[in-house]
Structure 1
Amino acid sequence: MDLNKQIQKLETIRNDNSNKVFTMYLNTDLSDPEQQGGEWKIHLKNGLRNFEQYLKEDDDKEELKNFQAVKEKVERFVVGNEQKFLKGIVLFATADEEVWFATRVQIPLETAFNWQETPHLEQLKQLSVDYPKTGIILIQQNEVKVIDSYLNEIEDTFSYELDLDTDDWREKTTTDTGSGSTNQHTEKFEDRVEANQQRWYKKIAPKLDKQAKDKSWENIYVIGESDPANELKEQMNKPVNEVIQKNMLDHEESKVLQEVFG
């Protein structure tokens, strides 16, 4: 999903008749203390009911009919995805389905509902600012792991290992057993690291620069111990937003995202 393209598309929508646009940001984060009892269900029910009641009182039969059609689609989507909830749902809809965008996101949201001529895009725009296409590069001795993330979710991961026999990097496959973790390789690496670190990271940097270009990273973070992390940053042509001086290559990827995005 390219959120910026979706925002551009939604920005062109304006319905001045009874076929208005429904906007929903729904917090479904079960780790949120305020959501422990499934409060999102109450917020959803009340939010939809309030609009329906208002339109009944306003006696606009056509607009009420359109809203009820949207309400049915919204409830169907929520029920259909309840077992796959992340932290929130973002949804935009019209009765004629000219507008239909619904997605689950791994990002905290502030619950809000709107039924107006135009979609309310403020929270969506902020998500694209706070969680852009990001490359997270973890470095530890003779290994480099890359996490390609977008909107606080992992899009892809891949790793490189330094072949100490050829002095070159190769991309690891799922069948690799991680030979760099043996004592023999570790000692061999540590014996040569001081003399060769700059040259080694100069070789891997172009591969990472290419990944940054191909995957359209807007932000880049390098995580690792001070010397290798800073050396890798210096060798890369793409600007690095921040060096985080922690050894996290073997940590769960969700913990790495939490370290970067908070």
Structure 2
Amino acid sequence: MIGRNEAAEIWNRLQELETPVLSVYADIDPSNPDNRGGAWRVRVKNALKDIPEIHERTEHRPSLYDEVVALIDEERPEAKTMALFARQNHLGKTFLERIDLKVAVPVVDLVGGRVDARWGEPWIAPLLYALDEYQRAAALHIHGTEWHLYEFFLGEFEEIDGVFAEVDEQDWKELREAADFIRSGRLRAEVTPDLSGSTKDRWAAKSRHWRRKLYQRLVRLVEKALEARGIERLVILGDHAEAAMVASLFTGRYHDMIAAILPNPSDGNDIDPRKLHDLVLPALEAAERREEMRLLDRIREEPGPMGLEAVIDAIQFGRVDVVAVPFRTEAKIWHCPDSGLYGGTRAAAERYCAEPVEVPLADHIFRLAENFGTRVEFVDGEAADRLREEFGGIAAHRRW
């Protein structure tokens, strides 16, 4: 799994690279029929043949092409996208970084073969997209006295160890009794108070105290783990009544993180990883789509700037905190290399320089946004369709 620290380290290494750098993104999804038999490797090698700078070799060192091909030919666990970065300096020292992602990125879903290879500045925008789209999330699985917290990142997941280490055996015994009570169906009857003063169900009153005390303690431990790892979304899995009660005990922003409450993926303590993965990821993607639609609603209500010219100008005047861009876009903008400024049209860019250069929006949006403290939000599905139809293909939320 690519964890938080690994992602930060990769990012730092790419930022420090001197140019020129080879950047490659490829669709390697084994479920894609076009990738059967390693056909994606052939497509990548064909794309690399068109970059003459990486084929130079001497009697003392292989070419950068040879080293990259060796890395491509390595067998790796199944993934959907390969990102690869390579550079060879004048002393023959080679930098190679292959990142296999279990998620798709927009750049490789192209008519031209689902491979994009470039020589020059490190092309990190698709990798930044993946970090933006697949936010750090967690899944809490509840089954009686078995509570497990899993971290999801870039389509992968792993259990977070030690979250409940301080809970002792007696606490778990009481928790099991409370969980059995909830699953028995008596919880619903207990919601209506007995006004007769009868104490015939004393255990129910005791259980109410146990539930609140124990469940709140466990939830606080979960919140602590979410905070420590920078988790932004949470999915809870378990018996509905029990999971709903646990969800109600999360406080403030942690409660707002809850994206879904899902059925128990297992009748016992052993969880099928594939089943957990297949349940949680669609729920997280659905939450992302809902958040994208809410962003567009806020932009519409303001209203915020819409269309390339208005949005690019607003970003460069520091007026934008979030810009919404389609998951896949072929839009072009105009760049003034000397000043670093942009225009949504050639005429707009000519305010800053005499000879602006037309460039792909997807290649430059992160640099433009970073320069002016703006966050990029890629949107997909219905939100992407709405962005094109209602907002001219790009829109932004005003900072002020």
Contact 1:197/1:228, CA 8 A, preserved across alignment: no
Distance 2:159 2:65 in 1: 35
Which residue number corresponds to residue 71 of structure 1? 65
Superposed CA offset, 1:75-129 (max 9, x none):
11122x2254433321111112574322222223524333332111122112112
Change (3 A) 1:198 1:226: farther
Q: Which one of 2, 6, 11 corresponds to residue 7 of structure 1?
A: 11
TM-score, scaled to structure 1: 0.72
Aligned ranges 1:229-240 → 2 under 5 Å: 229-237=243-251, 238-239=254-255, 240=257
1:249 Cα deviation (Å)? 4.3
Contact 2:140/2:237, CA 8 A, preserved across alignment: yes
Contact 2:25/2:117, CA 8 A, preserved across alignment: no
Which residue number corresponds to residue 221 of structure 1? 235
1:26 aligns with 2:26: yes
1:89 aligns with 2:89: no
- Amino acid in the other structure paired with 1:6: I
Alignment: residue pair count: 233
TM-score, scaled to structure 2: 0.50
List runs of 5+ in structure 1 lacking aligned partners.
56-62, 171-179
Q: CA RMSD in A?
A: 3.4
1:218 Cα deviation (Å)? 3.0
Contact 1:7/1:124, CA 8 A, preserved across alignment: no
Contact 1:169/1:203, CA 8 A, preserved across alignment: no
Q: How many percent of aligned residue pairs carry the same amino acid?
A: 16
Which residue number corresponds to residue 40 of structure 1? 40
Superposed CA offset, 1:213-241 (max 9, x none):
33332322222333322322232343423
Change (3 A) 1:135 1:3: same
Superposed CA offset, 1:5-40 (max 9, x none):
53355345452xxxx211111222212232224321
Which residue number corresponds to residue 123 of structure 2? 120
Distance 1:94 1:11 in 2: 13
Distance 1:76 1:98 in 2: 13
Distance 1:14 1:21 in 2: 7
Residues 123-132 or 232-241, more deviating: 232-241
Which residue number corresponds to residue 212 of structure 2? 198
Q: Secondary structure at the match of 1:31?
A: coil
Distance 2:279 2:216 in 1: 26
Which residue number corresponds to residue 59 of structure 1? none
| Structure showing greater relative contact order (alpha-carbon pairs closer than 8 Å, 6 or more residues apart) | 1
List runs of 5+ in structure 2 lacking aligned partners.
109-113, 188-207, 283-400
Distance 2:248 2:178 in 1: 26
Larger Rg, first or second structure (1 or 2) = 2
Distance 1:3 1:165 in 2: 37
Change (3 A) 1:261 1:35: same
Distance 2:14 2:119 in 1: 13
